[in-house]
Amino acid sequence: GCVDIVQAEGARRYSGGWPTSGSAGSRDALRFAVRAAKILGQPADPQWSRVADSLRIPFDKKTGTHPEYDGYAGKKAKQADVVLMRYPWENPQSADVTRADMAYYVPRTDPDGPSMTDSVHSIISSELGDPGCAAMTYTKRSADPFIRAPY
């Protein structure tokens, strides 16, 4: 069966509901704990792997994207939550799904939100190797507002 995290809040503050990226991050944190236990020669609680493997990562087959959270209807998003699933969480997904997530969420992300959003967009655009200047545009948007003299 599937496991859902309930009565929790993610980092974004513009909406309610547990974020899809929060499930991916929780899944990976549990997997990291299992690996750390092995490295340390300690037993890992078998429940950690069972829960990690059962955490539900919502996906909308119609749009080919991951919803920000269950019930998300396209409102402005504070930051790059969904695209974080590609980097740094390395969610197993195709480049096409990542492109669809980027195409859907970049225009919905608040330009006055955290600067990490565009830096993550830049990393993912570079990783995808898509032609054009998206990676540089995102890099400039993440850094330029914070550059102060004498630099």
pLDDT string in tens for the chain (151-residue length): 688 887 666 665 666 677 888 888 899 999 999 999 999 999 999 999 999 999 999 999 999 999 988 888 888 888 878 998 899 888 899 999 999 999 999 999 988 888 788 889 999 999 999 878 888 888 888 888 888 888 6
In a domain? residue 14? no
Instruction: Look at residue 30 in the predicted model and tell me its pLDDT.
Output: 96
Q: How far apart are CA 98 and CA 118, in angstroms?
A: 15
* Residue 48 included in any domain: yes
- Does some domain include residue 91? yes
- CB neighbour list of residue 104: distance below 8 Å, 6 or more residues apart: 63, 65
- Is residue 9 in a domain? no
Task: Determine the pLDDT at residue 28.
Answer: 92
6 inside domain: no
User: What local confidence, expressed as pLDDT, does residue 14 receive?
Assistant: 66
Give the model's pLDDT for residue 150: 87
Structural domain containing residue 58 = 20-144
Are 51 and 112 in contact by the 8 Å Cβ rule? The answer is no
Within a domain: residue 68? Answer: yes
- How many beta carbons lie within 10 A of that of residue 6, not counting itself? 7
Q: Does the residue 12 lie in any domain?
A: no
Q: What is the pTM of this model?
A: 0.83
Q: Of 123, 128, 49, 121, nearest to 94 (Cα)?
A: 128
CB atoms within 10 A of CB 124: 25
The count of domains in the chain is 1
How far apart (Å, rounded) are the C-alpha atoms in residues 121 and 104?
A: 12
Report how far apart, in Å, the C-alpha atoms of 7 and of each of 4, 18, 19, 35, 123 are.
10, 8, 11, 28, 32
